Amino acid sequence: MSMIDQALSANATIARGYDPSRGNPPTPKIAMVTCADPRLSGIEQMLGLAEPDVDMIRNFGTVIDDDAVRSLVLSTHLMGSREIMIINHTDCGMLKFTDSDMESRLRKETGQTPIAPAKFYSFTDAVANTKEQIQKVRSHPWISPDVPVRGFVYDVKTGRLSEVFPDGKPATG
Ligand SMILES: [Zn+2]
């Protein structure tokens, strides 16, 4: 049985104990961008945040790309999020390859050169990368200057966050 089939079977049983209040309209207070890495799943609990308070935006590498910006704009203008947290992490898979190596490998394996994705956004330094992502959000004309944008690196070995300050100054938004 595939794992998806197992999950569907489990869902039929687990849903019997579902709390219907989880279906109430969400009222997020923070928009969070983090990595799709499974070690970041459930990070709200590590931060003492309730799930309904967080709009969770995840992708490979905690990248502020077109789609992450789309979600951040909607979260802050439509859903009511008032702060933005960007959480990179140690030991990210995006540190372990380069875009050009990955492109070469895929071209070789498939014999194809598609138009997208234009970039994989691999990086070599989680702190420097986080600064870049903060700057991308902070400079966006549709993200209000009233919304604090703060970045962090999550240590997967300790569960602790370290704040990253662009330009070495406290990022108070
Ligand atoms: Zn990662």
- Residue 73 inside a domain? The answer is yes
Cα(127) to ligand 1 centroid in Å equals: 13
Q: What pLDDT does residue 170 have?
A: 62
The answer to whether residue 169 scores a pLDDT higher than 80 is no
In the chain, how many domains are there?
1
- Residue 144 inside a domain? The answer is yes
Cα(163) to ligand 1 centroid in Å equals: 17
- Residue 107 inside a domain? The answer is no
Q: Which domain holds residue 59?
A: 26-93+125-166
pLDDT in tens, 79-89: 999 999 999 99
Confidence of residue 49 (pLDDT cuts 50, 70, 90): very high
Burial 8-29 (b: 16+ CB within 10 A, else e): eeeeeeeeeeeeeeeeeeeebe
Asked whether 154 and 89 are in contact (CB, 8 A), the reply is yes
- Residue 20 inside a domain? The answer is no
Asked whether the bond before 145 is cis by omega within 30 degrees of 0, the reply is no
Cα(172) to ligand 1 centroid in Å equals: 25
Cα(101) to ligand 1 centroid in Å equals: 18
Asked whether 52 and 25 are in contact (CB, 8 A), the reply is no
The answer to whether residue 90 scores a pLDDT higher than 80 is yes
- Residue 9 inside a domain? The answer is no
Beta strands in the chain (DSSP E): 30-35, 54-59, 83-89, 149-154, 161-164
Cα(116) to ligand 1 centroid in Å equals: 21
Cα(88) to ligand 1 centroid in Å equals: 7
- Residue 11 inside a domain? The answer is no
- Residue 80 inside a domain? The answer is yes
- Residue 101 inside a domain? The answer is no
Q: What pLDDT does residue 168 have?
A: 74
